[in-house]
Chain A
Amino acid sequence: MGKKFVVPFGSQHVALPEPIRFVFTTENEIIRNVAVDFGYVHRGIEKACMSKFKYTQVPYVVARVCGLCSISHASGYCLAIETLMDIEVPKRAVYLRIIAHELDRIHSHLFAVSHLCEVAGYENLFMRVMRDRELVMECLEIFTGNRVQYDFVTIGGVNRDLTKEVYEELKPRLEELEKRLLQLKEIFEKDYTLQMRWKGAGVITKEMAQKYNAVGPIARASGLATDCRVEFGYFPYEELGYRMVLYHEGDIWARNMVRVDESLVSIEIAKNAMDNLPEGEINVRVRGNPNGEALVRWEAPRGELLYYVKGNGKPVLERLRIKTPTFSVIPVMKELYYNQPYALVPDITISFDPCLSCTAR
């Protein structure tokens, strides 16, 4: 029996992009107990959407929940309102949403991949992934008009069309990105140092993923086949070459590989949607106020995002609930730390790609 040490990790830590605090009790550098606190930046966005803003303004408010998956928040909310108010979105707008959504997934995944390389001490690979990610950032800027906060999706459709000129800018960038991602994938599959560090480390079994209701890439890296794009079926992904990426190892390496492979699938989906874009309008006019309740399970880059809306026939909603993917993976993350070496904490934490901005919305 070693002497027990209490080691705080966060709320400010070099490996953490956002404030979350873990207090680890360690014994011979092995974690024996953990406490978690993540309420540092609660912003009251749900309250604001139920008291200050009309339901038509809310897409632009919820997009500010997160800088990385703002498209997912706006899209999830708009889809919930469209379901509640029985609004049929034109098929061209649906395809445009899919393109934006998949490009958003790529840049979010590559950010997570690069950050994981950084905490593993692989600075040059971090730089390389961030450099390659610029291609998708350029695509998003050209396509939506903005680099981070796109405000592209609106209730009833989208705000901007895909013109021939934009298509010609996007296509070669996506093809180049695909080539570079295949090179990166080879590095992750063959690099001796990364395999030594990540393979077999921080393992979440399928049973553990089910027990703690893991979502998104975390679940799929543990062999748990769950994806809201399939289960909720909100968009015609089957028309555009969607396939689920599943790994069974459940370790840090598998979580990284799911993100790399999903980025490749997203490129394929985006290219197919661009090549087969239906003709027609890009939005429909919305009249009236929402009355009743509806929900949407949306597959954001980090996993299941839930939007629940309840209207009472007035312009301001009675309830807006946002359940984010990181909210769902904190229980399995907390459980995973038990009996792990403290030295693995940065890699394990970042392999979850946690977003506290979303969780403390």
Chain B
Amino acid sequence: MKNFQEEKITPDQLREKIKSFYKEDEWHFITINGTDTGKSIEVKYFFAKYGKKEPVYALSLEIDYDQTLPSITDLIPSAWIAEEELYDLLGVKVEKAKGGIFLEPDSPKAPLRKSFQPKEK
């Protein structure tokens, strides 16, 4: 049973949508999650209200493997870490993300992509 409230948007709408509701003293930004669906990357931005027993609110969008995602770090400064993780672990190009924080330079690239299969020892 799905237990969070989800709103589907396009990558172009992301920044305007966040600007329209996000207030630092009201909303807690949880993180960004990426999932490789096999055809594209599904990206969800999770938020929760401080002190309220309300379902988590998720903004959900899909991007192609080679598409660039707009950064939200000027709107939510702590989001840089989630954007860097999306870049390193799923190979999602995010504006401003440099990569190399979650993985070392000699690590496999984008290990959470479906195309990546770990080597058997």
Q: Do A and B bind each other?
A: yes
A interface with B by C-beta (< 8 Å) = 36-40, 42, 44, 46-48, 50-52, 83-84, 86, 207, 210-213, 215, 224-226, 230-233, 292-295, 297, 304, 306, 308, 310, 318-319, 321, 323, 327-328, 330-332, 335, 360
Interface of A is mostly: mixed
- CB contact under 8 A between A295 and B118, given known A46-B112, A323-B30, A328-B78: no
B9: A residues at CB distance < 8 A:
none
0/1 interface trace, chain B 79-117, chain A, CB 8 Å (1 if under)? 011000100110000000000111110010001100011
Contact A308 B103 (CB under 8 A): no
Residues 8 to 47 of chain B near chain A (Cβ within 8 Å): 24-25, 28-31, 33, 35, 44, 46
Which residues of B are in contact with A by a Cβ distance under 8 Å? 1-4, 24-25, 28-31, 33, 35, 44, 46, 48-53, 56, 76-78, 80-81, 85, 88-89, 100-104, 107, 111-112, 116-118
Bound complex: CA of A40 vs CA of B101, how far in Å? 9
* Minimal beta-carbon separation of B98 from chain A (angstroms): 11
- Given A39-B100, A42-B103, A297-B56, is A224 in contact with B78 using a C-beta cutoff of 8 Å? no
CB distance from A211 to the nearest CB of B (A): 5
- Tell whether, in the assembled complex, residue A42 and residue B50 are in contact, meaning their CB atoms are under 8 Å apart: no
Pair B1/A86 contact, Cβ less than 8 Å: yes
| Given known A-B contacts A310-B35, A319-B35, A47 and B118 have beta carbons under 8 A apart | yes
B48 & A297 in contact (Cβ 8 Å cutoff): yes
- Nearest Cβ on chain B to A303's Cβ, whole angstroms: 11
CB contacts (< 8 Å) of A330 on chain B: these are 81
Are B2 and A297 closer than 8 Å at their CB atoms? no
Bound together, the chains give a CA A352 to CA B3 distance in angstroms of 31
Decide yes or no: A331 and B78 within 8 Å by CB, A44-B118, A210-B25, A295-B4 being known contacts.
Answer: yes
CB distance from A84 to the nearest CB of B (A): 6
Contacting pair A226 B81 (CB below 8 A): no
Residues of A within 8 A of B76 (CB): 213
Residue of B at shortest CB range from A332?
A: B78
Q: Which A residues are CB-close (under 8 A) to B89?
A: 46
In the complex the two chains form, is B28's CB within 8 Å of A294's CB?
no
Of chain B, the residue at the smallest CB distance from A52 is B118
Report Cα–Cα, A47/B118, bound state, in Å: 9
Q: Which residues of A contact B3 (CB under 8 A)?
A: 83, 294-295
Residues of B within 8 A of A50 (CB): 112
Q: What residues of chain B lie closer than 8 Å to A232, measured between beta carbons? A: 48, 53
- Least CB distance from A328 to B in Å reads 7
**Contact (Cβ within 8 A) A295 B56:** yes
Given A50-B112, A224-B50, A231-B48: 15 more A-B contacts, CB < 8 Å: A37-B100, A39-B101, A42-B104, A44-B118, A47-B116, A84-B1, A211-B77, A213-B76, A230-B53, A231-B51, A232-B48, A295-B56, A308-B46, A323-B31, A331-B77
Known: A84-B1, A295-B46, A331-B81. A318 touches B35 (CB 8 A): yes
Chain B residues in 8 Å Cβ range of A211: 24, 77-78
Complex alpha-carbon distance, A212 and B76, angstroms? 8
- A-B contacts, 6 of them at CB < 8 A, read A37-B100, A47-B111, A47-B112, A207-B24, A211-B77, A297-B56
* Cβ contacts under 8 Å, A310 to chain B: 35
Please measure, in the bound complex, the distance between the C-alpha atom of A295 and the C-alpha atom of B103, giving whole angstroms.
26
B residues less than 8 Å from A231 (CB atoms): 48-53
Q: Within the assembled complex, what's the spacing in Å between the Cα atoms of A216 and B89? A: 26
**A86 to B30 alpha-carbon distance, docked (Å):** 24
Option from B33, B51, B102, B117 in Cβ contact (under 8 Å) with A226? B51
Minimum CB–CB distance from B78 to chain A (whole Å) comes to 4
Task: Give the residues in chain B near A304, CB-CB below 8 Å.
Answer: 30
Least CB distance from B75 to A in Å reads 11
Could you say which residues of chain A place their CB within 8 Å of the CB of B29? 213
A15, chain B: closest CB distance, angstroms? 21
B88 touching A39 by the CB < 8 A rule? yes
Question: Within 8 Å CB of A86, what residues of B?
Answer: 1
- With a cutoff of 8 Å between Cβ atoms, the chain B residues found around residue A319 in the complex are 33, 35
In the complex, A293 Cα to B4 Cα: how many Å? 9
Which residues on B sit within 8 Å (CB–CB) of A213?
28-30, 76, 78
**How many angstroms between the C-alpha atoms of A213 and B77 in the bound complex?**
9
Give bound CA distance, A52 to B119, whole Å. 12
